[in-house]
Amino acid sequence: MSRRITLDEFIIQSELRQPNSTGEFSGLLRHIGIAAKIVNRIVNKAGLMDILGLDGNVNSTGDVVQKLDTYTNELMIEYLRNSGLCAGVASEELEEYISFPVNRLKLNKYIVVMDPLDGSSNIDVNISVGTIFGVYERKTLDNSYAQMSDFLQSGSALVASGYVLYGTSTMFVFTTGSGVNGFTYDRGIGEFCLSHSQMKMPDDGPYYSVNQAYYNQFSDGVKQFISYCVEQNKMLRYIGSMVADVHRTLCLGGVFLYPGTRKNPEGKLRMLYECNPLSMIVEQAGGMSVSEQKERILEKEINSLHQRSSVIIGSRKLVQKACDLL
Ligand code: AHM
């Protein structure tokens, strides 16, 4: 009887195809997979654990923090630290990056950027949320500890990125630069199993996804693009949870956009934790991702940990049309 390959098996097999691999990178990916299972359990049980609701703080980017944001952030950091394979982490929930003590046997060449719980305003009402991560190789290997320049790298330098969607089922979707693969969590065996091999995004699609409540604050180009979508009979879908909105766009085709608004003229979403990792996934699946200024997201320079950007991401034909109108 055929069975589905697990995430661990997939990572190990990919590593065996790289003759010079030290195992450090695949070990780190496997640890992220383990952390995702724990976060999945917590997200699923949140209503029973008194960890729903606000934590009482506002994070470094001005967002109201939910208790579950704090909990998942601490949990992910602990797993990355204990992996012994990660030199540091920058998180949407932290103002500064964290450097981990260097493992004497290894160089700890990788750092991780993450949004531990994206879309957290949806948690209390049982709507899909996600975790987003990106992995970079350090630029300062001669220093014992990871430095700021290790984190301020453009998206084109990502060596891996992915997301976990805590939806009707839990999915782990990732890329190491040679296609995108999706794994669905099988509760029975406690493993992510390959369910979506070599995912490809349709060139066009039936949906557009934007918070249209900000319509009056959008630029003329963005308004024209929204009118184009309406004229083309595209249907509006907006969850307000970027992982879920991008996942639908990836699977069915369409476009997701978060343009500049009065409150956030540069857009709301963060380059390091949201725009870059998801742009790598979408490009690897054949889609496109640009800013409102028509710059390719993955090529944008990163100047600060919490830099924001507008983003238009999705099927090639639709993102190209947006560029024509902007
Ligand atoms: P968060 O990291 O505080 O959860 O904010 C990010 C989320 C995205 O998932 C989503 O696309 C966006 O914020 C929704 O913002 P808005 O409510 O302004 O539409």
* Domains of the chain, start order: 7-196 (3.30.540.10), 207-325 (3.40.190.80)
Q: What is the rounded average pLDDT for all residues in the chain?
A: 91
Distance of CA 242 from the midpoint of ligand 1 (Å): 6
Q: Flag whether pLDDT at 62 surpasses 80.
A: no
Measured between its terminal Cα atoms, the distance across the chain in Å is 53
pLDDT in tens, 10-32: 999 888 887 777 788 888 999 99
Range with lowest mean pLDDT among 137-146, 195-204, 260-269: 137-146
Ligand 1 atom, smallest distance to 115 CA: 2
Distance of CA 305 from the midpoint of ligand 1 (Å): 18
pLDDT score for 71: 87
Distance of CA 97 from the midpoint of ligand 1 (Å): 22
Residue nearest to atom 7 of ligand 1 (CA): 119
Report the chain's C-alpha Rg in angstroms.
Answer: 19
SS3 content of the chain, % helix, strand, coil (to 5): 35, 25, 35
Task: Select the more confidently predicted residue: 123 or 227.
Answer: 227
Among residues 133, 91, 128, 126, the alpha carbon closest in space to that of 242 is found at 128
pLDDT score for 47: 64
- Among 258, 262, 266, say which to mutate for ligand 1: greatest number of ligand atoms within 8 Å of CB: 258
Q: What is the DSSP string of 38-71?
A: HHHHHHHHGGGTT--SEEEEE-TTSPEEEHHHHH
Distance of CA 262 from the midpoint of ligand 1 (Å): 16
Name the pTM for this structure. Answer: 0.94
pLDDT score for 125: 84
Per-residue pLDDT averaged across 52-72, rounded? 71
pLDDT in tens, 94-114: 999 999 987 666 668 999 999
Residue nearest to atom 6 of ligand 1 (CA): 119
Distance of CA 181 from the midpoint of ligand 1 (Å): 25
Ligand 1 atom, smallest distance to 213 CA: 19
pLDDT in tens, 162-207: 999 999 999 999 999 999 999 999 999 999 999 999 999 999 999 9
pLDDT band at residue 281, thresholds of 50, 70 and 90? very high
pLDDT score for 61: 63
Tokens (6 digits) for 261: 């608004």
pLDDT in tens, 310-324: 999 999 999 999 999
- Among 66, 237, 242, say which to mutate for ligand 1: greatest number of ligand atoms within 8 Å of CB: 242
pLDDT score for 15: 84
Instruction: Give the binding-site residues of ligand 1, using a 6 Å CB cut-off.
Output: 63, 92, 115, 118-121, 211, 240-242, 258, 268
